[in-house]
Structure 1
Amino acid sequence: MYSNDGFRGAMDAGMGSDSDVDALAALVADAEGVSDAARAVQIREVRVLAAAGVLAEKQAAGASERVKAREMALRGIAAELAGVFVATDRTLQRRIDEARDLVDNFPLTMAAWEDGRIVRGHVRVIQEVGCIVPADDREDFERAAIERCEGETPNRVRGSLQMLAERMHPRTFTERHEEAAAGRCVQVRTGADGMSDLIATLPTVIADGIVDRLTRQAREIINARAQADGAGAGAGGAGSDAADDGAGSAGAERADALFAADATGDDGLVDHAGADRSSFISDARTIDQVRADVFSDLLLAGSPALDPTATGDGDGTLGAIRAHVQVAVSALTLTGQDEGPADLAGRSPIDAATARQLAGDATSWDRLLTHPVTGTVLECDTYRPTAAMVRLLRARDRHCRFPGCRQPAIRCELDHTTAASHGGPTHVRNLANLCKRHHDVKHHTRWRVRQLAGGRLIWTSPTGRAYREDAPPPLVTFATIEPLEGGTSRVASAHELPRGGESPPPSDRGNDPPPF
């Protein structure tokens, strides 16, 4: 805390001595001079650029294709001036058009700027906002706008000038908004370093609501993180002072509540009582990063509010749809031997870590065999078996295919008989179900296996003994048809037999014809 003497000293230091005040007054006077000089230069620049536009019009006046001639003349003049302004000719052409528009269509604004009543920032706002005002009403708009700008900063007057311009527009805002809303869309603009901008053109109230909800959700996450950190510190360092006034026990109860069973409040926000302390470990994300992560999670895993496929009894199919991306990654990058980028088809490179994560989480991915020189794709196969392959192989194998093992196929792993890294295709003729134990035996011992037609495996032990493992014989279903009155029939019973096995008992079969 400051003493009285210390406080006075601080005030004196902040106010400065008389000589400091004089020096500051001199700086302010210089600043005024600089501001006036800068304004004069800016106005002169606008006049010069506007004159360039007039010159282009004059050069194109006698041409048969006047619009094209003006464009060519303007390009030539812009290219000439670009060397003086050290800018591109495209930039100079745009600035010429802006200067011409300002001088021709906003004369009162130019006059107020030259008189020092407004600054360059005000001029930009008036020109940008006033472009929607009809030419017949623009003079009235300029007068009102200049009056509002005097004594206010440009950012403060923009909103009021926009409202003024909207009221003076010949069409209602509602009509124009409905027309503009028809152009709503979502775009992706590829950026550098594996990043992109996802741009949604939406009605302003929707866009603002999205940002607000993301912000509030991000703050809930950050607040829960902070409370989790505080609870952890409080649990290990509660002092006797806190215990005296009851704060210690209250804090302990709050800490326990923070990590109790999960719960969600009626307002849809996360209840901190449901937070898991482990979820906040090493979480140092900024609010912008959390907003982006929540945004991604909601779009990738959330369900639309309006789903035409939903019924009164449950959700529709829209919520079950998941994002699909196509990524090409080299084998070396996939195995972690190289940190080169992968290619996101149709977009841009992505980092190696993301590519490996996508490959690990993917339900299926394809292996491309390419020409070593040209890079041309020579062959493509799927590394991970498709759902149809999994069903077929479970039906074929029914259990682990190591000699003597009967672990059910549903608890086994599909193994490439000839490893994919050695050129083995992902095909039923090169796949078989092995339990975890015998899968490891195949890969980490001297046991070897090869697959013949029909799913037959030939295992060779470390001592050279060969064991033949045939796929279990497929099941065939026999159904007994029981005739009913009126010529109809029904299935009375069914029997599953191995193909080539014994027939069902005669009493079960009867004299009915087989159903095939």
Structure 2
Amino acid sequence: MTSTAPEFDDDQTDAFLRVALEQFHADLRARAAVDASDFRTYATIYNTAEAYTSRDCGPAVSATKRAETFQWHLRSVAGEFACDSQLTDNALMNRARGAHNLFTKFPYWHDALAEASVQAGHVGAMLRHHSPVPPQHYATYGNGVLRYAKAHTAPQTETYAKKLAAKLASEEFEEAHKQAFEKRRVIVNHDDFGMAFLTAYLPSVVAAAIDEQLSRDAEAMIDVAKQEGRDRRNEPEFDADLRTRDQHRANILSDTLLTATAQTILEGPAEGAARVRATVSIVTPVLALRDPKFAGAFARAGGSDTCAGVAMLNGIQPMSAEEARQWAADGELERILTHPITGHVITSDTYAPTASLRRYLRARDVVCCFPGCRRPAHRSELDHTVAWQDGGKTHPGNLGHLCRAHHTQKHVQPWQVFNLGGGELAWITPEGRTIHVSPEPPGPRFVEVHDPPPF
């Protein structure tokens, strides 16, 4: 007896997919309405605690006692809601504080959520990074992030909010960085089974360089182990190295700290220099190399949406302008100077055209160019939009970064992409929708550099 597989009906499958897509968007709108209602509830928790506090604390009560009383009431009211919600009172207290900030500082964000112009993840990203922004810049921050959020994912909005907050609070950011830098430390928390957590509180640029170097060294060790396995596969007593990437990273960190002598110790504090070989890009506004305070003020005057006045680590993490100036003098790091208003790349410190082009593209794209992907460009692959074998050129207008997964998808899945130049790509989904992805800020022009930058 033979069985016949059912025939594949393209039209029927496409119809099912369209219905599912419509339902998905309807669910997004419904979820946004529920989230907006939840924020009103969380605000009620906060407001009720405030009302009870005002009832119990007269004008003569100290601010400390009043804050303590409010905390008691907030926990009590939150606990009432937590009983049957599978949420902790701490979680509801935090949401109540967030809702209070939302309605008192950025009420128009709640309207946008209720209309499904944004999702709860966008609201959370905005609220998480508003703390350092001075009150006089709340409107600039809130409206700027909202405009961005309406056309981007929550993770993208998270990065943008972080950058814009750092820009609007540049002086506060510098002072906060100095205070935080004084708290740098290494902590050991002993765990079970003879293990412990080693935690280092370091400047972001240093931590990123260490992380990247550990990954590179671990990948090199894995490649060596694989090659040795192939070479000795016929030896019966050969014991293959099966350590994972994380295990290699941990071992390399331990071996380096326990067997290497810091260069600062060998050569003295005044002569020590950072020994960094990892790929870490510090995108620095050119004015910040002269005077970080002037650069910050100049950038704020240039508009709220460029974020051009902030030094960025790998295009994602704001960093101290003073620290960027110090690292800019290190020849082992990529140094990319940007225009103080537009954020366009002015120059890069390399000579060879191929290396210069690669560095330019990393500065332009920052992350994978697939819609919503946040994989850093330096951990992604350069893709010819029009394949080389089909006549595509190795030129900025035909190149873009794609992470391994989306690079593969572009070639084997029914997605199409068109390079519109300047780093802007137009993706065509399997359902025929067009999604544009643009670099942030708008991509610079490629200029071949023959002279070193004026450091």
Coarse TM-score class (shorter-chain normalised): 0.5 to 0.7
The change in CA–CA distance for 1:177 and 1:17 in structure 2 (over 3 A counts) is: same
Question: Could you tell me which residue of structure 2 aligns to residue 139 of structure 1?
Answer: 139
Question: Could you tell me which residue of structure 1 aligns to residue 228 of structure 2?
Answer: 228
The change in CA–CA distance for 1:51 and 1:172 in structure 2 (over 3 A counts) is: closer
Any idea what the Cα deviations from partners look like across 1:206-256, whole Å, max 9, x if unmatched?
Answer: 1111111111211221111122223335xx79xxxxxxxxxxxxxxxxxxx
Q: Which has the greater radius of gyration?
A: 1
For residues 206 and 53 of structure 1, what CA distance do their matches in structure 2 show?
A: 40
Question: Could you tell me which residue of structure 1 aligns to residue 265 of structure 2?
Answer: 307
Letter in 2 for 1:213: Q
Question: Could you tell me which residue of structure 2 aligns to residue 85 of structure 1?
Answer: 85
Letter in 2 for 1:299: L
Question: Could you tell me which residue of structure 2 aligns to residue 164 of structure 1?
Answer: 164
Q: Equivalent residues in 2 for 1:435-454 (5 A)? A: none
Q: Secondary structure at the match of 2:67?
A: helix
Q: Could you tell me whether the CA contact under 8 Å between 1:106 and 1:142 is conserved in 2?
A: yes
The change in CA–CA distance for 1:308 and 1:296 in structure 2 (over 3 A counts) is: closer
Letter in 2 for 1:120: A
For residues 192 and 100 of structure 2, what CA distance do their matches in structure 1 show?
A: 36
For residues 18 and 308 of structure 1, what CA distance do their matches in structure 2 show?
A: 72
Q: Does 1:46 align with 2:43?
A: no
Q: Secondary structure at the match of 2:189?
A: strand
TM-score between both structures, scaled by the size of structure 1: 0.46
For residues 231 and 161 of structure 2, what CA distance do their matches in structure 1 show?
A: 50
Correspondent of 2:242 among 269, 273, 284: 284
Q: Equivalent residues in 2 for 1:87-486 (5 A)? A: 87-169=87-169, 171=171, 173-232=173-232, 281-307=239-265
Question: Could you tell me which residue of structure 2 aligns to residue 37 of structure 1?
Answer: 30
For residues 133 and 174 of structure 2, what CA distance do their matches in structure 1 show?
A: 16
Question: Could you tell me which residue of structure 2 aligns to residue 376 of structure 1?
Answer: none
- Relative contact order: is structure 1 or structure 2 higher (C-alpha 8 Å, sep ≥ 6)? 2
Cα shift at 1:309: 9.3
Cα shift at 1:56: 0.8
Question: Could you tell me which residue of structure 2 aligns to residue 389 of structure 1?
Answer: none
Q: Secondary structure at the match of 2:186?
A: strand
The change in CA–CA distance for 1:17 and 1:310 in structure 2 (over 3 A counts) is: closer
Q: Secondary structure at the match of 1:117?
A: coil
Cα shift at 1:44: 0.8
Question: Could you tell me which residue of structure 1 aligns to residue 273 of structure 2?
Answer: none
Cα shift at 1:139: 1.0
CA RMSD of aligned residues (A): 2.6
For residues 38 and 123 of structure 1, what CA distance do their matches in structure 2 show?
A: 14
For residues 111 and 221 of structure 2, what CA distance do their matches in structure 1 show?
A: 53
Cα shift at 1:51: 0.9
For residues 97 and 51 of structure 2, what CA distance do their matches in structure 1 show?
A: 15
Q: Could you tell me whether the CA contact under 8 Å between 1:106 and 1:127 is conserved in 2?
A: no
Cα shift at 1:203: 0.4
Q: Could you tell me whether the CA contact under 8 Å between 1:184 and 1:201 is conserved in 2?
A: yes
Letter in 1 for 2:256: L
Q: Could you tell me whether the CA contact under 8 Å between 2:141 and 2:165 is conserved in 1?
A: yes
Cα shift at 1:91: 2.4
Question: Could you tell me which residue of structure 1 aligns to residue 10 of structure 2?
Answer: 17
Letter in 2 for 1:294: I
Identity of aligned pairs, percent?
25
Cα shift at 1:138: 0.8
For residues 110 and 30 of structure 1, what CA distance do their matches in structure 2 show?
A: 24
For residues 172 and 73 of structure 1, what CA distance do their matches in structure 2 show?
A: 33
Q: Secondary structure at the match of 1:171?
A: helix
Cα shift at 1:158: 2.5
Cα shift at 1:125: 1.0
Q: Does 1:59 align with 2:52?
A: yes
For residues 191 and 50 of structure 1, what CA distance do their matches in structure 2 show?
A: 39
Q: Could you tell me whether the CA contact under 8 Å between 1:108 and 1:139 is conserved in 2?
A: no
Q: Could you tell me whether the CA contact under 8 Å between 1:56 and 1:70 is conserved in 2?
A: yes
Deviates more, 1:282-291 or 1:222-231: 222-231
Question: Could you tell me which residue of structure 1 aligns to residue 430 of structure 2?
Answer: none
Cα shift at 1:54: 0.5
For residues 267 and 22 of structure 2, what CA distance do their matches in structure 1 show?
A: 71
Q: Secondary structure at the match of 1:199?
A: strand
Letter in 1 for 2:139: E
Question: Could you tell me which residue of structure 2 aligns to residue 460 of structure 1?
Answer: none
Q: Could you tell me whether the CA contact under 8 Å between 1:214 and 1:294 is conserved in 2?
A: yes
The answer for unaligned runs of 5 or more in structure 2 is 1-6, 270-455
The answer for unaligned runs of 5 or more in structure 1 is 1-11, 238-277, 312-516
Q: Secondary structure at the match of 2:197?
A: strand
Cα shift at 1:193: 4.4
For residues 308 and 28 of structure 1, what CA distance do their matches in structure 2 show?
A: 63
Any idea what the Cα deviations from partners look like across 1:274-295, whole Å, max 9, x if unmatched?
Answer: xxxx9x8331011111011111
Any idea what the Cα deviations from partners look like across 1:483-504, whole Å, max 9, x if unmatched?
Answer: xxxxxxxxxxxxxxxxxxxxxx
For residues 229 and 156 of structure 1, what CA distance do their matches in structure 2 show?
A: 42
TM-score between both structures, scaled by the size of structure 2: 0.52
Cα shift at 1:308: 7.3
Alignment: residue pair count: 256
